[in-house]
């Protein structure tokens, strides 16, 4: 008798699941679809600034961690069912190893070099070792493949872009700078992030600053109210695939490609 009741509950729950899923919003692309969406753009060997403009999806990206605000930001994202991308530095992994593991489970972890040097000033071999050392350490800790890269100060080189292309890794820049690393106060960070919100936007934030955390706390409910969903960069590229001709055109005139 007990068993029959349990079976009935299970069957009811299973039947109710698809409806509940739809009510929360559209299904996210599968892992394979996301990887394919990144590889499609990475094959160009050029940086990307934004995705296509099809749906109300944006990518919040947080650089320079992991650090003291990472877990707080992830807790806030979770409340809204949002996800983000974290571009991490290998030099922080020793102290924030568990935090990086959690980022690997709940977000997308991209690379931001080991020690955050300005890459164009380094010899080509060192530019690559700065990335590969950090990528290897990060994937050993999270167990995930690292498919995204963001150069410190948005400045990469031809050697870096060629190396990324050979590994099917994508150089991800941004369409909106919150200017949190340039001294913007918390209200400015919030105002610029809101102003830059549009379908396919990639917003630059930093995860090691209290003023950014303050702004993010206000940005997330605003995004929700406006009907936006914050997703990871691979999810964004799969949901809002960019036109490759536009990516080429923008990279030809954009900054961050020397
Ligand atoms: Zn940085």
* Model pLDDT, residue 27: 82
The answer to whether residues 87 and 148 touch, using CB atoms and an 8 Å cutoff, is: yes
Residue ranges of domains in the chain: 29-252
Closest-CA residue to 29 (of 17, 38, 16) = 38
Indicate if the pLDDT at residue 20 is higher than 70.
no
pLDDT of amino acid 249: 87
> What's the pLDDT at 250?
85
Q: What is the pLDDT of residue 211?
A: 94
45-49, 100-104, 254-258: range with lowest mean pLDDT: 254-258
Whole-number percent of the chain with pLDDT over 70: 88
Q: How far is ligand 1, taken at its centre, from the CA of residue 139, in Å?
A: 19
Ligand 1 center–CA 16 separation, angstroms: 44
- Count the helices and strands in the chain (H runs, E runs): 10, 8
Rounded Cα distance between 166 and 169, Å, is 8
Q: How much of the chain, in percent, has pLDDT values that exceed 90?
A: 82
Q: What is the pLDDT of residue 251?
A: 80
* CATH fold label, 29-252: TIM Barrel (3.20.20)
Q: What are 54-64's pLDDT values in tens digits?
A: 999 999 999 99
Judged against a pLDDT cut of 90, whether residue 5 lies above it is answered with no
197 vs 106: CA distance, rounded Å: 22
What per-residue confidence (pLDDT) applies to 209? Answer: 87
| Mean local confidence (pLDDT), 225-233 | 98
> Given this model, what pLDDT does residue 7 score?
40
Dist. CA 115 → ligand 1 center (Å)? 10
| Residue 223 scores a pLDDT above 60 | yes
Q: Which residue has the higher pLDDT, 255 or 112?
A: 112
At residue 25, the pLDDT reads: 55
Q: Give catalytic residues, as residue numbers.
A: 63, 206
Q: Does the pLDDT of residue 44 top 60, yes or no?
A: yes
> Mean pLDDT score of the chain, rounded to an integer?
89
Residues 6+ apart with CB under 8 A from 175: 49, 50, 196, 198, 200, 201, 202, 203
Output the CA 67–ligand 1 centroid distance in Å.
13
- Rounded to the nearest whole angstrom, what is the distance from the C-alpha of residue 93 to the centroid of ligand 1? 15
Cα 112 to averaged position of ligand 1 atoms, centre (Å): 7
Query: Which SS3 state, helix, strand or coil, does residue 58 take?
Result: strand
Provide the residues around ligand 1 (an ion) whose CB is within 5 A.
63-64, 152
Taking the C-alpha atoms of residue 231 and residue 227, their distance in angstroms, rounded to an integer, is 13
Alpha-carbon distance of 93 to 133, in angstroms, equals 12
Average pLDDT over residues 168-180: 96
- End-to-end CA separation in angstroms for the chain: 72
Segment 95-139, tens digit of pLDDT: 999 999 999 999 999 999 999 999 999 999 999 999 999 999 999
């Amino acid at each position: 008798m007990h068993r029959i009741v349990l079976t009935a509950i299970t069957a009811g729950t299973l039947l109710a699941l698809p409806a509940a899923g739809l009510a929360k919003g559209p299904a996210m692309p599968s892992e394979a679809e996301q990887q394919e969406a990144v590889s499609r753009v990475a094959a160009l060997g050029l940086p990307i600034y934004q995705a296509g403009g099809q749906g109300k999806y944006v990518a919040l990206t947080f650089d320079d961690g992991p650090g003291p605000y990472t877990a707080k930001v992830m807790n806030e994202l979770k409340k809204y069912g949002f996800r983000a991308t974290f571009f991490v530095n290998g030099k922080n992994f020793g102290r924030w190893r568990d935090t990086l593991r959690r980022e690997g489970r709940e977000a997308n972890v991209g690379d931001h070099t080991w020690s955050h040097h300005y890459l164009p000033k380094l010899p080509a071999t060192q530019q690559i070792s700065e990335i590969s050392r950090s990528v290897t350490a990060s994937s050993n800790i999270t167990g995930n493949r690292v498919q995204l890269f963001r150069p410190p100060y948005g400045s990469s080189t031809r050697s870096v872009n060629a190396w990324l292309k050979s590994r099917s890794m994508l150089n991800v820049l941004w369409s909106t700078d919150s200017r949190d690393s340039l001294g913007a106060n918390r209200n400015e960070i919030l105002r610029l992030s809101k102003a830059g919100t549009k379908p396919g936007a990639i917003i630059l934030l930093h995860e090691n600053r209290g003023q950014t955390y303050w702004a993010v706390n206000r940005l997330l409910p605003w995004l929700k109210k406006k009907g936006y969903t914050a997703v990871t960069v691979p999810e964004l590229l799969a949901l809002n695939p960019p036109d490759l001709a536009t990516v080429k055109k923008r990279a030809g005139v954009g900054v961050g490609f020397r």
